Amino acid sequence: MLMGPSLEELMRPRKVCLCRGVSRADLRRAMEEGATTLAQLQRKTLAGTGCGSCLLEVIRILHEYLEEQKKNSLFEGLS
């Protein structure tokens, strides 16, 4: 299912990781392609591999994605 960015996403700064130029959309894409641990996400996008100041935000976005996936799996097959 393709969905555009939410209003909240549009209001956030474009780059999550300034050192590596990684956006929230880049992180989202990497997670959808299977990078579901911090190490995998860093390997795939390089986010958080410079100064490290974005790490908490990267982790927060990863957590948010995993929670969303968990919720979706709970409702799979119910509609």
Q: Does 17 bind ligand FES (CB under 6 A)?
A: yes
Least separation, in Å, of the C-beta of 8 and ligand FES?
Answer: 21
Instruction: Kindly tell me which residue out of 52, 59, 64, 68 binds ligand FES, with binding defined by CB under 6 A.
Output: 52
Binding residues for ligand FES, rule CB under 6 A, total 12
Find the part of the chain contacting ligand FES (CB under 6 A) among 28-36, 46-54, 61-69, 70-78: 46-54
The DSSP code for 52 is: -
The DSSP code for 14 is: S
Instruction: Kindly tell me which residue out of 26, 41, 48, 62 binds ligand FES, with binding defined by CB under 6 A.
Output: 48
Integer Cα distance of 56 and 61 in angstroms: 9
Integer Cα distance of 23 and 32 in angstroms: 14
Rounded to 5 degrees, what angle do the CA atoms 29, 39, 66 make?
50
Contact set with ligand FES (CB under 6 A): 17-20, 47-54
